[in-house]
Amino acid sequence: MKPNLLAGLAALTVMTYLGQAASSAVEEPAYPEGYRRWTHVLSGVSNANFNRYEGLHNIYANSKAVEGYKSSGAFPDGSVIVFDLFEVVDKGGATVATRRKFIDVMVKDSKRYAATGGWGYTEFLGESRTERAFAQDKAPGCHGCHEAKAGRDAVLTRFKD
């Protein structure tokens, strides 16, 4: 009787542990299908001081995120913002975008990403729609900077008509 009881308890402990592990895994933000047809927010150029962010970036917002940019408050759930970064070369005085380095994505889901201010953060490398630079457990690194620097709902850029 005793050994059975112990085995039962051990099994229960393992199941509880697995249950916790499964429920704490946060779903990754999806690849932002079609974002190149979304609303262009702005573009910027960063030099080598910005390390891996050196290059030309274009920022796009889906329609929900445009609502967020135009409101004075928070971005609604379903907002998606994409930071699309390219390498640049100088061609006879013209700065020309060449290879896509990566895209950084923010997806608003106030329940799923409650731990990072309601924003899921991810990065897709180069032209890949599946290869990510990191898992959700690294998202607090993105959010820490956004939260500290941004005035409104962790979004740093402003929309100008």
User: Is 106 near ligand HEC (CB under 6 A)?
Assistant: yes
Q: How many CB atoms lie within 10 A of CB 92?
A: 5
User: Is 142 near ligand HEC (CB under 6 A)?
Assistant: yes
Pick the closer one to ligand HEC by CB: 44 or 78: 44
Kindly indicate which of the ranges 13-21, 86-94, 124-132, 153-161 contains the residues binding ligand HEC, using the contact rule CB under 6 A.
153-161
CA nearest to 55, candidates 129, 126, 147: 126
Question: Pick from 74, 146, 152, 159: which binds ligand HEC (CB under 6 A)?
Answer: 146
Question: Pick from 62, 66, 68, 81: which binds ligand HEC (CB under 6 A)?
Answer: 81
Strand partners, 61: 39, 81
Kindly indicate which of the ranges 32-40, 67-75, 89-97, 118-126 contains the residues binding ligand HEC, using the contact rule CB under 6 A.
118-126
Nearest-approach distance from CB 90 to ligand HEC, in angstroms = 21
Note whether 122 and 105 are within 8 A (CB). yes
Distance of alpha carbon 87 from alpha carbon 65, whole angstroms: 26
Distance of alpha carbon 127 from alpha carbon 103, whole angstroms: 9
Structure tokens at 63: 């329609």
**Judged by CB under 6 A, how many residues of this single chain contact ligand HEC?**
19
